[in-house]
Amino acid sequence: MTQTISKSGLSDLRSKDEIRAERRKGRTGIYLVAPGLLVLALFFALPVVVLLAMSLYVKPPGAEIGEFVPGFEIGNYMTVLSAYWPELLRSFWFALIATVLALLIGFPMAYLVAVRLREKPLLQGILLVLLIAPFFSSFILRTQAWKQILADEGFIAQALKFVAILPADGHLTATPFAVVAGLTYNFLPFMVLPIYANLGRLDTRLLEAAGDLYASPMNSFFRITLPMSAPGIFAGTLLTFIPAAGDYVNSALLGNNRNTTMIGQVIDSRFFKVIDYPGAAALSFVLMVSILVLVTIYIRRFGTKELM
């Protein structure tokens, strides 16, 4: 038996076997997480720091395009924010609408597959595959397909014009509508899958019990099904909102005009077309922090521990 005084000041009364067992567990734990954590530290945490540093770089007088030196130019943030705050707000706005739409469309899908088709595993399996398989057909290809389906010469636009829902000179593409529809479409599986996973565990006997206790179907939906699937909805909304806010493929392919530009597009063009690294970095950082703030508020308000 060893008796040592541990750091906390409490007397450490563990035996050598206990200490050894604990050390072994600790060591195995470290071995298991260390390689992955190293990768995350080197290629996620460190890059974010580098990005932060880069956002403060300054352009020396008379420098060539793309030449910057380390500095501490907070003004970079003022410059990009004053120029691009509309795009930033629009990104969040579009992402929010797309998330709500995806939830409204996705919940019935998840419910259909997870609960209604529980007794039909084959059909359930096929629909589940249909949710995942689109990933493999390339989302840019699908977005491009939407562009062509919704094109001015396309069947849908023509039909809408024929019944005069769409004015003769109206467009479906190059509109905020098209961009939001594209975002909704592309991130729908991210909404459905977590909800599906949650509803899959829903015990339908609970609903029967509720019905037995005189709850109307509406009532038992809002009192049981919805609260029980809350963690799934929570995860789904985050998994939809976050990538949607940063996306620029949809706005580039389906929008591509001044009133659909999203912040991702701006960051991309700052980086690659304008070669304004500090500006692009500052915008990226602003985007990251605003999302973290929004997500934190959201988690505080509605969060379950389950996600973390």
Q: Quick check: 177 binds another protein (CB under 8 A)?
A: no
Nearer to another protein by Cβ, of 35 and 167: the residue is: 35
| Options 58, 100, 105, 275; binder of another protein; rule CB under 8 A | 105
Distance CA 59, CA 48 (A): 21
| Options 63, 78, 81, 126; binder of another protein; rule CB under 8 A | 126
For residue 69, the 8-state DSSP code is: B
Distance CA 203, CA 237 (A): 23
On whether the CB atoms of residues 106 and 191 are closer than 8 A, the answer is yes
Q: Quick check: 230 binds another protein (CB under 8 A)?
A: no
Minimal distance, residue 212 CB to another protein, in Å: 14
Tokens 């995860």 map to which residue?
235
| Options 74, 81, 89, 140; binder of another protein; rule CB under 8 A | 140
Q: Quick check: 119 binds another protein (CB under 8 A)?
A: no
Q: Cα Rg for the chain, rounded, in angstroms? A: 26
- Binding track over 83-102 against another protein, x by CB under 8 A: --------------------
For 258-291, letters b (16+ CB in 10 Å) and e give eebbbbbbbbebbbeeeebbbbbbbbbbbbeebb
Q: What angle do CA 176, 181, 182 make, to 5 degrees?
A: 100
Minimal distance, residue 82 CB to another protein, in Å: 20
Q: Quick check: 9 binds another protein (CB under 8 A)?
A: no
- Hey, what are 307's tokens? 């996600």
Q: State the number of binding residues for another protein (CB under 8 A).
A: 99
| Options 80, 202, 224, 281; binder of another protein; rule CB under 8 A | 281
Q: Quick check: 302 binds another protein (CB under 8 A)?
A: no
Minimal distance, residue 101 CB to another protein, in Å: 11
Angle separating helix axes 176-200 and 121-132, nearest 10 degrees: 140
| Options 58, 93, 96, 139; binder of another protein; rule CB under 8 A | 139
Nearer to another protein by Cβ, of 32 and 78: the residue is: 32
